[in-house]
Amino acid sequence: MTGTLTLERRQATEVRVAGRRLEGHAAVFGVEARIADFVEVIAPGAFAASLSQGQDILALADHDPARLLARTRSGTLSLREDARGLAFALQVPDTQAGRDVLALAERGDLGGMSFGFTVPKGGERWQGRRRELRAIDLKEVSVVSAWPAYGGTTVAARCRVPARLALARCYLETL
């Protein structure tokens, strides 16, 4: 099996809410995920080249480009690799999609995070039915309502105020 330019998506489940910001890991290193009929793992450093290229990477709700939450070009999305995986922080917009995501995060109802990517030539290594992703061309990260493909991460809210005050208080905390 060889590298492909087909857009692929993977999910993880770590998101924290801090005011009108979501933070967490969109992907974790070294965690095996069952994808169709194979097992996949992301190697440390897999996102490094993609992040260093300065591409405009989007943050979406459920991979839907009509539900844009943030982007690197505007500075409302920041991404970096750390020892655990692909860390992110995004400033949630005061849009319907943003308010929905915050409400679900505060209740603990989000499924997690996902990411859309392609694999550049030489970016993967296969050993039987085990795929190691060594280089990933990241296109987007998404807050998802469904199930994650990768385990080992969590979704939690940190802005804890009564529902009727939540958005106003979270907004004021970011000023």
Question: Domain residues of the chain, as ranges?
Answer: 8-173
Partners of 12 in beta bridges: 113
Calculate what percentage of the chain has a pLDDT beyond 90: 52
pLDDT in tens, 86-108: 999 999 999 999 999 988 888 88
Of 8, 7, 170, 12, the residue nearest 87 (C-alpha): 12
90 and 112 Cβ atoms separated by less than 8 Å: no
Cα separation, 105 vs 111, in Å, equals 9
Average pLDDT over the chain reads: 80
What per-residue confidence (pLDDT) applies to 92?
93
Confidence band of 144 (pLDDT split at 50, 70, 90)? confident
Q: Kindly give, in sequence order, each residue whose CB lies less than 8 Å from that of residue 163, ignoring residues fewer than 6 positions away.
A: none
What per-residue confidence (pLDDT) applies to 15?
61
Report the Cα–Cα distance between both ends of the chain, in Å, rounded. 50
Confidence band of 131 (pLDDT split at 50, 70, 90)? very high
Residue 50: how many other CB atoms lie within 10 Å: 22
111 and 63 Cβ atoms separated by less than 8 Å: no
Answer yes or no: is pLDDT of 153 > 90: no
Which whole-number Å values give the CA distances from 110 to 61, 67, 103, in the listed order?
11, 15, 9
Partners of 70 in beta bridges: 59
42 and 85 Cβ atoms separated by less than 8 Å: yes
Query: Six-digit token pair at 141?
Result: 């990260």
pLDDT in tens, 47-65: 999 999 999 999 999 889 9
Greater model confidence, 118 or 158? 118
What per-residue confidence (pLDDT) applies to 68?
97
**pTM over 0.85, yes/no:** no
User: For the chain, what's the residue count?
Assistant: 175
Answer yes or no: is pLDDT of 164 > 90: no
Hey, what CATH topology would domain 8-173 get? Answer: Serine Protease, Human Cytomegalovirus Protease; Chain A (3.20.16)
42 and 138 Cβ atoms separated by less than 8 Å: no
Which whole-number Å values give the CA distances from 80 to 7, 50, 57, 142, in the listed order?
21, 10, 12, 15
Cα separation, 97 vs 47, in Å, equals 27
Q: What are phi and psi of 144, to 5 degrees?
A: -120, 150
